Amino acid sequence: MTKSKFQMIYDELVGHIENGDLKANELLPSENELAESFKASRETIRKALKLLSEHGYIQKMQGKGSVVLDVTKINFPISGLVSFRELADKMGKRAKTDVVGLEEQLMTPDMQEQFQMKEATNVWSVKRVREIDRERIILDNDYLLTSLVPGLTVDICARSLYAYIEQVLGLTISFAKKEITVERPTEEDKELLDLKEYDTIVVVKSHVYLDDATMFQYTESRHRPDKFRFVDFARRTR
């Protein structure tokens, strides 16, 4: 499980940018110079720089070089796939997860459509309330295929579902399709969350896939509007 060379070069350059060795608006050394100092070929350097570019760390300019972007603004991109726990840890908040429901059941027709399956199979239905700074902010409704994710317990759901799936079961989560909308809160939302007087709720629907392209999880994450924030870095595709 040793990382590839261009990954390690990427990691090192990210480090230099985040700790300030490389400041915003500075030019990186040229690809040839980097190749020499890292004892790698230029193509390997280019793979590392491509990653930096995709993640918003640098901007490449043909004929000129690669300039370091101001990364202070991209505090924490919730874009991508991060678990609630990772996020809470990074922000240094007092976070708590309350598992209010965990049961195995046959897919409803609605779920069957979400999973795009011809026949209904069994899924775990997990309902969790996320508490930050003593306020119940988020309601997560997760549905996971029991055939792929066996042996769920309340304890696992309270700690980290993703850690269990990846580290214990050895599955590899690969990508997700997300949709953000705003809806009216349900009675359940009002009951389980500290909604104050808000009459809307932010809903993030996620379809999550493994590395063999099988969908194993569908999630509806319901957020109190004032505590919701989504940050995105997007390159113009042409």
Per CB under 7 A, 178 contacts DNA: no
In degrees, to the nearest 5, what angle opens at C-alpha 212 toward C-alphas 208 and 214? 45
Structure tokens that stand for 162 in this block: 């993703």
| Residue 65 in the binding site for its own copies (CB under 8 A) | no
Q: Does residue 110 belong to the site contacting DNA (CB under 7 A)? A: no
Give the contact letters, 163-192, x = binds to its own copies (CB under 8 A), - = no: ----------xxxxxxxxxx----------
Candidates 29-37, 122-130, 158-166, 183-191: pick the segment binding DNA (CB under 7 A). 29-37
Report 89-108 residues binding its own copies (CB under 8 A): none
Helix ranges (H only) for 121-194 are 154-158, 161-163, 187-192
Which tokens go with 2?
């040793």
- Does 213 engage in binding with its own copies (CB under 8 A)? yes
Does 61 sit near DNA (CB under 7 A)? yes
Q: How many residues of this chain bind DNA (CB under 7 A)? A: 25
Which of 8, 14, 67, 102 binds its own copies (CB under 8 A)? It is: 67
Range in contact with its own copies (rule: CB under 8 A) among 74-82, 88-96, 134-142, 151-159: 74-82
Q: Which does 19 bind (CB under 5 to 8 A by kind): DNA, its own copies, none?
A: none
Contact 42, 35 (CB under 8 A): yes
Cβ burial, residue 83 (10 Å; 0-12/13-18/19+): middle
**Cβ within 8 Å of residue 35, ≥6 positions away:** 41, 42, 44, 45
- Measured CA distances, 96 to 93, 131, 137, 159 (Å): 9, 5, 10, 9
Residue 118 engages its own copies in binding (rule: CB under 8 A): no
Q: Which spans of this chain sit near DNA (rule: CB under 7 A)?
A: 4-7, 28, 30-33, 39-44, 46-47, 49, 60-66
